[in-house]
Amino acid sequence: MDNLPPELFSSLVERIDLGIIVLDSNLCIRRWNGVISQRSGKNQSLAIGRPFFEVFPDVDQHSFSKFVELARGRGIHVYNHWLEQAPLVQLSGEADDDASQHVQSALLFPFEGQGGELYFGLVMYDTGAIAKSSAHLESALKALRLKQVEQDQLLRRLETANSQLLQSEKLAAIGQLAAGVAHEINNPIGFVFSNLKTLSGYVQDLLKIIDAVDVVADLDELRQIKRGLEYDYIRSDVGALIDESEDGIDRVKRIISALKDFSHIEEEEFRPADLHRGLDTTLNVVNNELKYKAEVIKEYGELPEVECIPSQINQVAMNLLVNAAHAIEKFGRIYLRTGIEQEEVWLEVEDTGKGIEDKVLNRIFEPFFTTKPVGKGTGLGLALSYTIVQKHSGRIEVKSELGAGTRFRVYLPIRQPSEPQQQEVSS
């Protein structure tokens, strides 16, 4: 490198597509390369020895002076660029119709001449293309961030909509059962009311007997009044009427309690719960839907308390029980079973209905898919049951045989894992 001819190095400086100016310590021009002459339109021979600010009067003297002092103070090169404003030195070919994309970068470095004199080398080059690419990249990243925000908002709305759909389906299911529940309540209320009317008549007759004590002449007359009012029959019937009325009121109480336990719409917290109590509650709610279609046979195993959202598991049980009843064309059986396997419990609903065709078996958990006639189902019951079981880190198994019936088995972990697992469906 030491043997490199000076003219070769000079040729390189002249050919390179950079503007190069050499300044002395007083910022007077000592030399520049051909790029400066070509792009500035100035004559180098007329510029030699003249102050930099005199040759290039448009230069921001204050900014450039700070630039120089920084290089002088550090004794090393300094870098700067002029963005969205006039370049340090206006060179032809750097001007851009889109001024916001114009960037002129400048490198200023101090060095010593042969006599130890201080000089400055000023190198200028256009980085507008890079700036433009960077601006496009920044714009793309900004758009990507906006899309991410939109997706996050969409996911939140979707979660809200899913939750609302779940509650709507629960209310819809309760609405469908309302007539049956009303019937279940009206029956005991009806005979309790009838019994009360009968008891009211009995009380009036008994009061007549009591009042007669003060006016009859002797006991024979009192006994005659008792026989006339059929006292012995009233005495025996009163107890039966009271027992029957108490039983009716107790039935109403159980139904109301079941509805209360079943429909905790606001409930969202996992907690230990008695699965059998929830199943019995659900049976009470759907009793009118089941009793004319099937005999319900309970086969409960020994279960620990299960960490779950009880109202949502009740919803699953109700959907499976009602579907089982609808699958039975005449009168059949519905088996409600529970059991435990290692760290999981399971509940099972099996019917003796018509079964499910293989071609639709894999679609039964799809939202709005139903094989029921129009107006008989929303197509959301099994889909939402699937969602609930998934939320509980569980899984659903379904087996069906045409003409023989269908069995749904729901597996739930006894304790919820720290990270919910993906639900599996098998057939």
Q: Could you tell me the CATH number of the domain that includes residue 398?
A: 3.30.565.10
**Sign of the Cα pseudo-torsion (89, 90, 93, 99, in order):** positive
pTM: 0.47
pLDDT at 295: 93
Question: Do the domain assignments include residue 132?
Answer: no
Are residues 253 and 303 part of one domain?
A: no
Question: Do the domain assignments include residue 280?
Answer: yes
Are residues 301 and 226 part of one domain?
A: no
Among candidate residues 241, 260, 279, the one where a domain is terminated: 260
| Number of structural domains found in the chain | 3
Q: Is a pLDDT exceeding 70 seen at residue 96?
A: no
For residues 315 and 357, the answer to whether their CB atoms sit within 8 Å is: no
Are residues 401 and 301 part of one domain?
A: yes
**Sign of the Cα pseudo-torsion (287, 289, 294, 296, in order):** negative
Note the pLDDT tens digit of each residue in 196-252: 888 888 788 778 777 777 777 677 777 777 777 787 777 777 887 787 777 778 777
Are residues 281 and 251 part of one domain?
A: no
Are residues 280 and 210 part of one domain?
A: no
Are residues 417 and 298 part of one domain?
A: yes
Note the pLDDT tens digit of each residue in 312-332: 898 899 889 988 998 898 899
Over range 286-303, report the average pLDDT: 89
Are residues 203 and 336 part of one domain?
A: no
Question: Do the domain assignments include residue 404?
Answer: yes
Q: Could you tell me the CATH number of the domain that includes residue 96?
A: 3.30.450.20
Question: Do the domain assignments include residue 73?
Answer: yes
Are residues 411 and 327 part of one domain?
A: yes
Question: Do the domain assignments include residue 60?
Answer: yes
For residues 36 and 20, the answer to whether their CB atoms sit within 8 Å is: yes
Task: Single out the residue of 355, 254, 265 nearest to residue 314, CA to CA.
Answer: 265
Domain that holds residue 38: 6-126
CA pair distance 320, 289, nearest whole angstrom: 12
Are residues 417 and 357 part of one domain?
A: yes
Are residues 253 and 203 part of one domain?
A: yes
Among candidate residues 110, 126, 142, the one where a domain is terminated: 126
The answer for residues whose C-beta is within 8 angstroms of residue 86's C-beta and 6 or more apart is 58, 60
Q: Is a pLDDT exceeding 70 seen at residue 169?
A: no
Are residues 10 and 79 part of one domain?
A: yes
Lowest-confidence range among 57-61, 258-262, 288-292, 342-346?
Answer: 258-262
Question: Do the domain assignments include residue 159?
Answer: no
Question: Do the domain assignments include residue 144?
Answer: no
- Only one residue has tokens 């759907």, namely 286
Are residues 278 and 244 part of one domain?
A: no
Q: Is a pLDDT exceeding 80 seen at residue 2?
A: no
Over range 123-145, report the average pLDDT: 73
Question: Do the domain assignments include residue 143?
Answer: no
